[in-house]
């Protein structure tokens, strides 16, 4: 459809007020009768056909604009926008910032997303994807002593991993959690810097993850990534218990020696 297309056939929408307006746009977007670039009919006509007041419609359109569903163009009116996943990221960051107890749920969602993404990455990664991952790995090495820059480097490596999988849905879901994940990487680096052995763990694990993707081995790639998450969880648990690096070293090496190194 062209950018100046005028939508004139609205059909019926159920509900009251905001609910009716939101339901109308949700249903039309899902069925494909509204697409990015489509221009809505006038506010007066839209209010009449949806049977809502113009002030109520204005407020609903304003909210949909904030959500990135619509944009108001001068001398054109309301136009359907292409979805912007960053809006979802902002919403989730604010929501979970107020509910710290859900952080573990977020991390479980991250594991599910990345474990599927890495299988796809091992199958689909191009030379450009591998170069990006290799650059991110080098950045992890360079920033190993800096929790802020190191946390960002860690996040960028995992983001590059998801992008290499080539699944738009997984990318959108991972990006929706980006604000929380960046903060989580930073905080985890600050918490775990008391363990000198963490430097070796972070560098070697990310190198093994890269090598598995570069070898185009989905099973091995998922295996090393799950091990990476498990070892990281063990470090966090021991840090919470106040254990030292000497104490943690008695457990971690025995696990590392059982790994199938490339």
pLDDT in tens, 33-44: 888 889 988 888
Instruction: Taking residues 235-255, report their average pLDDT.
Output: 66
| Region of poorest pLDDT, from 82-91, 128-137, 184-193 | 82-91
Higher pLDDT, 140 or 244: 140
Q: 86-256 maps to which CATH number?
A: 1.20.120.530
Q: What is the per-residue DSSP string for 56-103?
A: HHHHHHHHHHHTTSEEEETTTEEEEPPP-HHHHHHHHHHHHHT-GGGH
pLDDT at residue 221 in the model: 98
pLDDT at residue 111 in the model: 95
Instruction: Taking residues 161-165, report their average pLDDT.
Output: 98
Higher pLDDT, 98 or 251: 98
d(CA 8, CA 121) in angstroms, rounded, equals 44
Q: Domain limits of the chain? A: 6-80, 86-256
Domain 6-80 and domain 86-256 have a common topology: no
Does the domain made of 6-80 have the CATH classification 3.50.50.60? no
pLDDT at residue 87 in the model: 67
Chain position carrying tokens 């979970």? 96
Higher pLDDT, 91 or 170: 170
pLDDT at residue 248 in the model: 54
pLDDT in tens, 170-216: 999 999 888 888 888 888 888 777 888 888 889 999 999 999 999 99
> Which of 205, 157, 155, 200 shows the shortest CA–CA distance to 181?
155
Instruction: Taking residues 134-154, report their average pLDDT.
Output: 95
The whole-model pTM stands at 0.72
Question: Residues with Cβ < 8 Å from 112, sequence gap 6 or more?
Answer: none
Q: What confidence tier does 90 reach under pLDDT thresholds 50, 70, 90?
A: low
Residue 229 clears pLDDT 70, i.e. is over it: yes
d(CA 116, CA 110) in angstroms, rounded, equals 10
| Region of poorest pLDDT, from 72-86, 154-168, 205-219 | 72-86
Instruction: Taking residues 95-107, report their average pLDDT.
Output: 70
pLDDT at residue 162 in the model: 98
Residue 57 clears pLDDT 70, i.e. is over it: yes
pLDDT at residue 246 in the model: 65
pLDDT at residue 95 in the model: 65
| Region of poorest pLDDT, from 41-50, 65-74, 96-105, 186-195 | 96-105
């Amino acid at each position: 459809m062209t950018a100046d297309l005028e939508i004139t056939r609205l059909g019926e929408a159920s509900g009251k007020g905001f609910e009716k307006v939101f339901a109308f746009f949700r249903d039309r977007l899902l069925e494909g009768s509204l697409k990015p670039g489509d221009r809505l009919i006038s506010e007066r006509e839209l209010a009449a056909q949806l049977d809502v007041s113009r002030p109520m419609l204005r407020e609903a359109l304003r909210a949909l604009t904030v959500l990135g569903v619509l944009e108001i163009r001068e001398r054109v009116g309301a136009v359907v926008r292409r979805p912007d996943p960053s809006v979802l990221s902002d919403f989730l960051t604010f929501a979970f910032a107020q509910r710290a107890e859900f952080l573990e749920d977020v991390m479980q969602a991250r594991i599910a997303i990345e474990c599927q993404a890495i299988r796809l990455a091992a199958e689909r990664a191009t030379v450009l994807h591998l170069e990006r991952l290799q650059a991110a790995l080098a950045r992890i090495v360079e920033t190993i002593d800096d929790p802020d820059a190191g946390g960002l480097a860690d996040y960028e490596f995992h983001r590059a991993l998801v992008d290499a999988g080539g699944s738009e849905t997984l990318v959108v879901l991972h990006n929706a959690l980006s604000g929380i994940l960046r903060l989580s990487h930073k905080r985890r680096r600050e918490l775990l810097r008391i363990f000198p052995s963490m430097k070796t763990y972070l560098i070697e694990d990310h190198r093994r993850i890269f090598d598995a993707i570069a070898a185009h081995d989905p099973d091995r790639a998922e295996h090393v990534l799950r091990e990476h998450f498990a070892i990281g969880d063990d470090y966090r648990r021991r840090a919470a218990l106040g254990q030292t690096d000497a104490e943690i070293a008695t457990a971690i090496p025995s696990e590392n020696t059982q790994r199938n190194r490339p």
